[in-house]
Chains A and B, each alone.
Chain A
């Protein structure tokens, strides 16, 4: 039955709706967090079975394949950690928890549809479902002005990006006569319209639209402000989930629908990749606020990821998938530490507030060190393996220069990641940080992310195979 192909999404929708309903009836809002966990778990279980219905469904709108499943599981895993973090973060601030959790799940729903989309219309709907939910989430601290500012900025620039994307889609539809990804590729190949300016314009518009969502330089302006203003768990969710989903759909659209144009988009991506890495890292150096620093760092990481897309082929795309996996957990971990050190949510966000943390909270200090070194790409942590795989795919395909730019950039990035450890271990403490007692859920989030940051790096074979097996759609 075709409904089976979207069973995970249905389960997730039900879970989100149930949370909204239960919110009205229960006094102990705690329960909502558990419900969200339960919904995510149920969705994961159903998603794991979904490959029994491989292939296209809903008149070519949806495709069930390994690629989609890889990302869906990645999103769900990240969602688990984000919910754990949220349960700690919103321990006092409870008025809008029902909306919060259900919006979070709706955002995940959008992401899940994005990676399963086989049609530009479906891509667009997925992106909008995700974006609308995240616009609200980033503004969900109603009394915090920065949160409101973040939401407004995000919605304005997001709408701008969406317009580009939509314009690009319609141009491509105009030229090829289809919105289906495979059909577009066929039309491009058979109609001999490779040099058609409208097609190239459409491609360029879509590139800009996706560039906004992935926050590639020069379309990154919204990122630092929004990351800074949004509540920490939402920032974490945006930095890993939204970025990964946008990248996944970006990849699929360009590799499935526009492979014929890769001589056109590859040089563009090389430029964007170099710009994104370099600008992201250089600006990150001067940041004083840890959330802004992590925002610029996430921009730089999008640049590294583009290296894999430029390299393409049998090693480039799996290396991106693997890197996204690595990046998700180390970045979530870093945000979890930021949260643990914030007193009531949004305190102690200046990097200099971290002075002395290493000796006073040795375990948190250790974890933050692990995440920072992993983000900088120091072995044997997973960040190193991820970069290694990305750069090796670039060298393999002959882009040695790009790999050199990549390693020089990770050198630059080491400086600002090290600054955090300098503060934590080598400066006497300036401010009395007394973090609120940690909930078990945050402890769990920290333990999981630390463990995976080691494990994915030390024993990457399983994950590499998973990434390699997830790109059959390319063959």
Chain B
């Protein structure tokens, strides 16, 4: 679909590329111009992505804003784009976080500015591309394309062990995705198309033996990206060494691609294999939740702590995806957005003090709240959002996932709930050690509070945290149709079951998170 005569999805993918060409024309000595150009381009991209909201019909079934063109005729590869509610939210998150990441780099990055911003923009091309592609090969191209700029961002502007982290990140993710490529080929020679929508419309699934293998290959690709225990070891390294903006986008967007892949491809295309492997995936998700939280408790480095907390939070998302109930799946998507907002913000928060003090060790700080009151307030709100305080976004996602899991298996929900408790423990402890107590380290005496630009970076994230926390209805609305469609494929029993009590509970819960919101809006 076009907006004002322009195919909007294509425009969103390639607008940052136009930005790259503009930046190439600027001489690298003009640092100020380069910064302005990058910020304006990413801001515009965000504004353009808001146009999607105007024309999005949340009551419609299937994909919207579809674009279709032949790309490589002889191999039957198409340029096929389209979004549903799930991708819509992720695209908006992508454009917002990329803009904020760019803005946050204003004074943090000092050398090789031009290349830095070019890589950020190229990353945005890949990220938006992944969320809008409906052709397997097109999807794969963007999926891999995104590795390159992130690799350079970590490798050039990263910390001390940047080389190790960059190569580990690249090879780990590449390993998963090449296996996925072979699986994509197997799918192709069964359906004779790469068109994901066309494959779904056939209503036929691969024979079980093939389906299992294909599922496992995709699982490897996506689980490494998520990352799930035991495929998570690249994440702490990459996060710790990446520059702030890189960490924000890595945690905020790149990890979501794994879970997005499960929702978009694994569930609807290999439902039988999904059911077969469900117990294993759930166990891994639960292990991720608890293990990630426990390891977070032990960290001395703030960034590492947040990195492991990501493992725990993404475990929640995986749990929500693989219990196959609409409530949990919706919760999982909301939790993906929440994690993008709160963890993105946490990395930005660490970035603020790192830029001033060049250390991330918790022990180097303490009592900062007296020097940086505004910073302390921002940090507090985000901490609360991350641990799931009601009224903030984290609560909605975790609550819905637990609610959706509970009727399926009580124990899974219980184990997951311990993850929330541990989460509160490590986050509050972190906050306490950094913010409260006496300001003893003399190096921290001179710390300045957030400046206007930094405050501007956090404002949209805080607004979003409250918005989703108080009035999640608009976000949940766009998810209704796509989630129903997926659950109908993977767990048709859910809708056919006469068990009314489950439905009642479920519909009552669906209203509950929304209720305070409707009050708020009135």
- Chain A residues in contact with chain B, CB under 8 A? 359, 362, 373, 378-380, 384-385, 388-389, 391-392, 395-396, 400, 403-404, 407-408, 410-411, 414-415, 418, 421-422, 425-427, 460-461, 464-465, 468
Identify A422's interface contact among B144, B145, B148, B166, CB under 8 A: B166
Tell me whether B162 is interfacial, beta carbon within 8 Å: yes
How many pairs of residues, A versus B, come closer than 8 Å at their CB atoms? 83
**A391-B185, A400-B186 in contact; A414/B137 too (CB < 8 A)?**
no
Q: Which residues of B lie under 8 Å from residue A362 when comparing CB positions?
A: 115
Given contacts A379-B140, A404-B182, contact A425 B72 (CB under 8 A): no
Residues from chain A with Cβ under 8 Å of B178 in the complex = 407-408, 410-411
Write out the residue numbers on chain B whose beta carbons fall within 8 Å of the beta carbon of A460: 72, 75
Bound-complex Cα distance A137 to B185 (A): 43
Instruction: List chain B residues, Cβ under 8 A from A418.
Output: 151, 167, 170-171
Question: Can you pick out 17 interface pairs between chain A and chain B where the beta carbons lie within 8 Å of each other?
Answer: A378-B148, A379-B144, A379-B145, A384-B141, A391-B185, A392-B75, A400-B186, A403-B182, A407-B179, A411-B174, A415-B167, A422-B163, A425-B155, A426-B166, A460-B75, A461-B74, A468-B74
Q: A373-B148, A418-B170, A464-B75 are in contact. List 15 more A-B contacts (CB 8 A).
A: A378-B147, A378-B148, A388-B137, A389-B75, A392-B185, A395-B185, A404-B179, A407-B181, A407-B182, A414-B170, A422-B155, A426-B156, A426-B162, A426-B163, A464-B72
CB < 8 Å neighbour of A403 from B75, B156, B171, B185: B185
Whether the pair A392, B72 counts as a contact (CB closer than 8 A) is: no
Most B-side CB within 10 Å, residue of A384, A385, A395, A403: A395
B218 to chain A, nearest CB (A): 14
Chain B interface (Cβ within 8 Å of chain A)?
72-75, 112, 115, 137, 140-141, 144-145, 147-148, 151-152, 155-156, 162-163, 166-167, 170-171, 174-175, 178-179, 181-182, 185-186, 188-189
Task: Give Cα A425–Cα B153 distance, bound, in whole angstroms.
Answer: 10
Minimal beta-carbon separation of B224 from chain A (angstroms): 12
Separation of A461 and B188 alpha carbons in the complex (Å):
18
The residues of A that contact B166 with a CB separation of less than 8 Å are 422, 426
Pairwise interchain contact A425-B74, C-beta atoms closer than 8 A: no
Closest to A403 in B: B182
Across the interface, which residues of A come within 8 angstroms of B167, CB to CB?
A: 415, 418, 422
CA distance A392 to B140 in the complex (A): 14
* Smallest CB-CB A-B distances: 10 pairs: A407-B178, A379-B141, A395-B185, A426-B155, A464-B74, A379-B144, A392-B185, A380-B141, A403-B182, A461-B73
Please, which residues of chain A bring their CB within 8 A of the CB of B115? 362
Chain B, Cβ-Cβ closest to A408: B178
Give bound CA distance, A384 to B75, whole Å: 14
A460 CA / B75 CA spacing, docked (Å): 10
Closest to A422 in B: B163
Q: Would you give the shortest CB distance from A4 to chain B, in whole angstroms?
A: 32
Residue from the list A388, A404, A414, A461 in contact with B174, Cβ < 8 A: A414
The residues of A that contact B186 with a CB separation of less than 8 Å are 395, 400
- Which residue of B is nearest A365, CB measured? B115
| Bound Cα distance A373, B145 (Å) | 10
Interface residue from A391, A426, A465 paired with B181 (Cβ < 8 Å): A391
Q: Which residues of A contact B151 (CB under 8 A)?
A: 418
The CA-CA distance from A362 to B115 in the complex, in Å, is 10
Distance (whole angstroms) from the CB of B359 to the closest CB of chain A = 22
A414 in contact with B155 (CB, 8 Å): no
- Known interface pairs A407-B178, A407-B181, A426-B163. Does A465 touch B170 (Cβ–Cβ under 8 Å)? no
Minimum distance in angstroms from A408 CB to a CB of chain B: 7
> Which B-chain residue is minimally distant from A460 (CB atoms)?
B72
Q: State the CA gap A456–B95 with chains docked (Å).
A: 31
Closest CB-CB distance, B71 to chain A, in whole Å? 8
Cβ distance A363 to chain B, nearest Cβ, rounded Å = 11
Task: Give the chain A neighbours of B171 by CB distance below 8 A.
Answer: 411, 414-415, 418
Bound-state CA distance A465–B155 (Å) is: 39
- State whether A411 and B175 are in contact (beta carbons under 8 Å apart), knowing that A388-B181, A404-B182 are contacts in the complex: yes
Say how far A385's CB is from chain B's closest CB, in angstroms: 8
A395 with B189, Cβ < 8 A, contacts A414-B171, A422-B155, A426-B156 known: yes
Separation of A422 and B152 alpha carbons in the complex (Å):
9
Question: Which of A396, A403, A408, A411 is most buried by chain B, counting CB atoms within 10 A of its CB?
Answer: A411
Kindly state the separation between the CA atoms of A124 and B75 in the bound complex, as whole angstroms: 36
Q: Give B189's nearest chain A residue, CB to CB.
A: A396
Distance in angstroms between the alpha carbons of A333 and B137 in the assembled complex:
26
> In the complex, A371 Cα to B156 Cα: how many Å?
19
